[in-house]
Structure 1
């Protein structure tokens, strides 16, 4: 693996000693992660530092697959529509998606809040997803399960438990939320996210699917061989976002208290939307030790709470996180996914939670 490189984009006047220590910590983390391509991007009170490895040039402009780290974009979109008064968190998803369509009573009780917080009672994926996906499991498992099939699977589903009573991570639920928001606003999903989130935040390097091959990072198998670009089929809202490291820092910085809105009014997305996605909502995990917001996992740290979300596609991994109390945001991405023994998520989570 090529030695890590770094570039600093000064946007504030940090202490040189503190800045040097942060650069050292990023370099140490980069040495721990063995990947064909790696970027760790840090923002601390407006000052940005980028560390790259695996042959990735400083200031890397490539777009990376976010996988499940796309969900905070969906959550912010929902919060924006609620802050505008166009929707309510308590609205029934089935009623918005297919008004008057006969569904199971428990399904009708699923709200938009249930879908984004993984408390809907829906499984991780529809039951009929797996037979069609298995032949393409290592290359394109989602590609032949389109949007209309996701909607049909939802309308005939029966929740495994009463909505709002248990937490169970579900790509199915968040995908249904995306289709519901599109139906409720009469706007295609891609256009809606662009109009309400990507455009207003100036995320010009963010896409909702593969683009120019020269502009997209290439994922790799464990043996180092390249993988095709991710096709999410009808699960766009749960995992289709691709973004540059610079855009990801901009997205995270907007979540830091005092950042949303600035001097302009009205702000898009509105400050109330950012407040909603930061606010703790429910307890989850072993002995309910961890908190979940509308769309972020929330863990304690010595310097205050950390909000984060990880994601993985067939050949890439992503980590997004921010610490509101210290004005710190971290985006890390690499172009290989190795299960269980891979140090990527553990390393960058510890970096944000314990060291920076």
Structure 2
């Protein structure tokens, strides 16, 4: 699908600076909101479900599920974020650019193999983060290698050297920057390229530049085991699946986080000046790509961006083999939402629709 890549990084538009961000406090539940969250939990029909909302600093969390209650409250477990991890990766790259450590224009091939000629139209870090690199969703040989573990952990069979080698061998069909195509492959390459360019492992780079500055102590890429991490389930909601292993795709989908940490992460997007990452958080709200008929679909380096009657809403979903996540925030209403479910995605699943509707309709209760 053709897209129009806008200049990035660039100036943050003024109206986004004027949001009424939340304070970092908790408060009593809003009764109407609490009821809506309870209804969303019930509709999700998953083993473990959490809907967490922060509205101008007042947090409301509801949880439940079809499985027996775990020893640790559902609202305190870490959940697999899948592709919603890309919101952290986009913020990481933006922070590195804000600090002057990268520009975003670096050819990925030069980062991964110093001294190798990049060619006349190289794939840059900016292309990778905006899904305009020309790379497919996954490497061509991914399915053949992943097939033996397709129902358990397919990504684990495709480690980092395979990802890098597939990228170095790939020849894009379209000039980078001319077409948008959502690509786990591309964001995975971005993670390896940024790690190589900074001589720092991706896990540690993310922790140093994003997680620790935002006090996200309950977020990370590695599973910690029962009692800490939620257990995923298949589509039937009964069969458990192993903890997700992202293999060579950590930047595209490896993160796990608690609802509390996710609200803290999203509240930082609502109130950037109150954080150590103020400039980067403002920058990731700036549209950088418009695509589709009339360029109606808008993207930032980290978020999908849709209009509402009162202002834009930002969101990103994700899924692993046994869990789902939906993250979103709205500067106009000071609202952040994190929705989590331990059931593999099914066709017609109400989970994402419920989460999106909660965020989209929030202004109606103001």
TM-score (norm 1): 0.90
What is the alpha-carbon distance in structure 2 between the residues aligned to residue 222 and residue 144 of structure 1? Answer: 22
- List, as ranges, runs of 4+ consecutive aligned residues in structure 1 with deviation greater than 6 Å: none
1:103 Cα deviation from its structure 2 partner? 5.8
What is the alpha-carbon distance in structure 1 between the residues aligned to residue 147 and residue 362 of structure 2? Answer: 41
What is the alpha-carbon distance in structure 1 between the residues aligned to residue 345 and residue 269 of structure 2? Answer: 30
1:303 Cα deviation from its structure 2 partner? 3.1
Contiguous gaps of at least 5 residues in structure 1: 1-9
1:196 Cα deviation from its structure 2 partner? 0.5
Residues 137-160 of structure 1, C-alpha deviations (whole Å, 9 max, x = no match): 110101121111111111111112
What is the alpha-carbon distance in structure 2 between the residues aligned to residue 96 and residue 103 of structure 1? Answer: 10
Correspondence for 1:20:
31
**Mapped contact 1:181–1:189 kept (Cα < 8 A):** yes
Q: Does 1:305 align with 2:316?
A: no
1:61 Cα deviation from its structure 2 partner? 1.1
SS in 2 for 1:348: helix
Q: Does 1:72 align with 2:72?
A: no
What is the alpha-carbon distance in structure 2 between the residues aligned to residue 180 and residue 293 of structure 1? Answer: 20
**Mapped contact 1:209–1:230 kept (Cα < 8 A):** no
What is the alpha-carbon distance in structure 2 between the residues aligned to residue 343 and residue 13 of structure 1? Answer: 29
Correspondence for 2:47:
36
Q: Does 1:185 align with 2:193?
A: no
Correspondence for 2:250:
236
Contiguous gaps of at least 5 residues in structure 2: 1-23
Residues 68-93 of structure 1, C-alpha deviations (whole Å, 9 max, x = no match): 00001000000000000110022211
1:338 Cα deviation from its structure 2 partner? 3.1
**Mapped contact 2:216–2:261 kept (Cα < 8 A):** yes
Alpha-carbon RMSD? 1.8
What is the alpha-carbon distance in structure 1 between the residues aligned to residue 249 and residue 27 of structure 2? Answer: 42
What is the alpha-carbon distance in structure 1 between the residues aligned to residue 187 and residue 361 of structure 2? Answer: 30
- Picking from 254, 266, 287, the partner of 1:252 is 266
What is the alpha-carbon distance in structure 1 between the residues aligned to residue 342 and residue 26 of structure 2? Answer: 31
* Deviation larger for 115-124 or 295-304: 295-304
Correspondence for 1:353:
360
Residues 273-305 of structure 1, C-alpha deviations (whole Å, 9 max, x = no match): 111100011113455322101110001123321
What is the alpha-carbon distance in structure 2 between the residues aligned to residue 103 and residue 88 of structure 1? Answer: 16
Q: Does 1:119 align with 2:132?
A: yes
What is the alpha-carbon distance in structure 1 between the residues aligned to residue 294 and residue 226 of structure 2? Answer: 45
**Mapped contact 2:54–2:60 kept (Cα < 8 A):** yes
What is the alpha-carbon distance in structure 1 between the residues aligned to residue 117 and residue 262 of structure 2? Answer: 41
Bigger relative contact order, structure 1 or 2 (CA pairs below 8 A, ≥6 apart): 2
Correspondence for 2:235:
222
Correspondence for 1:332:
339
Correspondence for 1:81:
96
1:206 Cα deviation from its structure 2 partner? 0.8
**How many aligned positions are there?**
335
